[in-house]
């Protein structure tokens, strides 16, 4: 009875806040229309000039907001860096872990992935591996079957089912798990040896519900992949480190994510109706009041898409999935117990998924138009130079900060610090425009509720054939 009463009160509170917000928006719209007519009458400008003036003010405000966002992320990331603790738990304090991995048509790399899981620096009796073959049509099941009787003596369970999707495969693995901590890992990622120790140590704090790992690009042998590696380092992991200071990381990546099992069962498991099931699950854990943090030394290597078409498919799915998760969890904004840091983390998802890409494209089109029509080329140059300078500053910090997670050697070429200026320039002038275009199209199609399928990315298998070797 009490739960029903609380739910009723919460529903009324949410409804009240919604109507207040709607009234404010209507009031602001009416005020803007009145201001527009007042300006036209007093200054005697045409609507075209007023539009250009308004757009200029809007873009200036956007740039100030962008600068503020960069500074906030940098400050929070610095604070997280200084707060980072390096001590490792004693062996007797280590928790039991269930590593769960859904598999679908991964015969090219599966042997290497499973070998990496069998060679972790963690007590063999304290972790198990559960592999769910989700209706693979290749030899993935047969490859995994060969490891059932492994020489390491590690418990490995292999399950098979009709193709039902990643979320259902993960949920089935969780139902079969025995560990206190669940580690979800993608079947195209190679995990480094010390990742379990670094990830699981945070669960000594009972309020920690999940830990996000560090995803790195392995195939950095071409410029296009180096740009993606820069995006992972500056755009993804850099943000996670900043939000980790607030204990509000908003996406625990599917490639490597640690979860307390009892909390998963409390908030509900993976949702198969959302294409970013990891984002949706993370938001539910945050809403339940638990901490979600980032561990830079829990590292997995993955292969980046090697063509623009594959990259388009991947980022399109990511963006639509994040927008679905944001829409499904929009009540966070009206939740009576939502903290400022939680709302900030949630709003950053919206900012990164739509607001920033849309405004970035509008700004480039606007300044390009000014340059072509009125010869205002300096405006275009100043805009690009300012953004490139911001990107370079954050890239330098992210590069130096990320060095602490490099406890493994690279067999492939990696980003060198001397290459950063040129990479950032290409990243700003070409790569981000491509990504932002994809995000805007994904947003429009999500608004129109157009159907989409799971966009599977083909990998070249460059991670196959070797394990990541630790430095001596």
pLDDT tens digit string along 150-198?
Answer: 777 889 999 999 988 899 999 999 999 999 999 999 988 999 989 999 9
Q: Note the pLDDT tens digit of each residue in 63-109.
A: 777 788 888 888 898 898 888 877 788 877 889 999 999 999 888 88
What's the whole-number mean pLDDT along residues 251-276? 91
CA distances (Å), origin 466, targets 109, 110, 114, 461? 10, 12, 12, 11
Pick the more confident residue, 354 or 11. 354
Q: Note the pLDDT tens digit of each residue in 21-46.
A: 567 667 666 765 565 565 555 556 56
User: Residue 432's CB: how many other CB atoms inside 10 A?
Assistant: 21
Asked if the model's pLDDT at residue 203 lies above 60, the reply is: yes
Asked if the model's pLDDT at residue 413 lies above 70, the reply is: no
Distance between CA atoms of 349 and 251, rounded to whole angstroms?
A: 9
The chain-wide mean pLDDT, for the chain, equals: 81
pTM: 0.84
pLDDT of residue 18: 53
Distance between CA atoms of 75 and 394, rounded to whole angstroms?
A: 11
Q: Note the pLDDT tens digit of each residue in 209-258.
A: 999 999 998 888 888 889 999 999 888 888 899 999 999 999 999 999 99
Pick the more confident residue, 139 or 364. 139
pLDDT of residue 358: 85
Provide CB contacts within 8 A for 287, sequence distance 6+.
Answer: 267, 329, 332, 335, 338, 342
CA distances (Å), origin 338, targets 180, 262, 265, 290, 330? 27, 22, 21, 12, 12
* pLDDT interval class at 114 (50, 70, 90): very high
pLDDT of residue 3: 38
Pick the more confident residue, 17 or 404. 404
């Amino acid at each position: 009875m009490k739960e029903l009463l609380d739910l009723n009160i919460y529903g009324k509170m949410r409804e009240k806040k919604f109507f207040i917000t709607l009234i404010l928006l209507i009031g602001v719209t009416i005020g803007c229309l009145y201001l527009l007519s007042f300006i036209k009458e007093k200054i005697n400008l045409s609507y075209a000039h007023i539009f250009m003036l308004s757009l200029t003010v809007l873009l200036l405000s956007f740039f100030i907001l962008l600068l503020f966002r960069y500074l906030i992320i940098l400050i929070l990331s610095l604070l997280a860096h200084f707060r980072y603790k390096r001590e490792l738990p004693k062996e007797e304090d280590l928790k039991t872990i269930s590593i769960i991995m859904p598999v679908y048509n991964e015969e090219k790399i599966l042997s290497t992935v499973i070998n990496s899981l069998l060679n972790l620096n963690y007590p063999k009796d304290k972790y198990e591996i559960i592999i769910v073959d989700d209706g693979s049509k290749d030899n993935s099941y047969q490859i995994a079957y060969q490891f059932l009787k492994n020489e390491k003596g590690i418990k490995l369970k292999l399950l098979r089912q009709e193709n039902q999707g990643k979320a259902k495969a993960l949920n089935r693995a969780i139902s079969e798990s025995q560990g206190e901590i669940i580690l979800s890992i993608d079947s195209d990622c190679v995990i480094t040896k010390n990742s379990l120790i670094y990830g699981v140590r945070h669960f000594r704090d009972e309020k920690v519900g999940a830990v996000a790992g560090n995803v790195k690009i392995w195939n950095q042998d071409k410029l296009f992949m180096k740009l993606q590696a820069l995006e992972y380092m500056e755009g993804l992991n850099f943000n996670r480190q900043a939000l980790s200071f607030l204990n509000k990381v908003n996406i625990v990546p599917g490639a490597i994510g640690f979860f307390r099992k009892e909390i998963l069962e409390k908030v509900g498991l993976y949702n198969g109706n959302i294409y970013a099931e990891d984002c949706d699950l993370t938001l539910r854990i945050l809403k339940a009041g638990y901490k979600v943090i980032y561990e830079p030394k829990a590292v997995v290597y993955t292969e980046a898409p090697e063509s623009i078409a594959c990259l388009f498919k991947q980022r399109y799915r990511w963006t639509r999935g994040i927008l679905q998760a944001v829409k499904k969890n929009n009540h966070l904004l009206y939740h009576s117990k939502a903290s400022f840091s939680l709302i900030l983390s949630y709003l950053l998802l919206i900012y990164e998924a739509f607001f920033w890409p849309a405004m970035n494209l509008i700004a480039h089109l606007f300044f390009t138009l000014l340059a072509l029509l009125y010869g205002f080329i300096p405006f275009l140059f100043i805009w690009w130079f300012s953004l490139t300078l911001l990107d370079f500053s954050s890239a330098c910090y992210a590069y130096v900060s990320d060095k602490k997670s490099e406890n493994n050697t690279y067999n492939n070429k990696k980003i060198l610090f001397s290459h950063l200026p040129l990479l950032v320039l290409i990243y700003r002038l070409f790569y981000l425009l491509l990504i932002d275009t994809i995000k805007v199209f994904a947003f429009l199609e999500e608004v129109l509720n157009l159907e989409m399928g799971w966009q599977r990315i083909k990998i070249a298998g460059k991670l196959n054939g070797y394990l990541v070797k630790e430095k001596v």
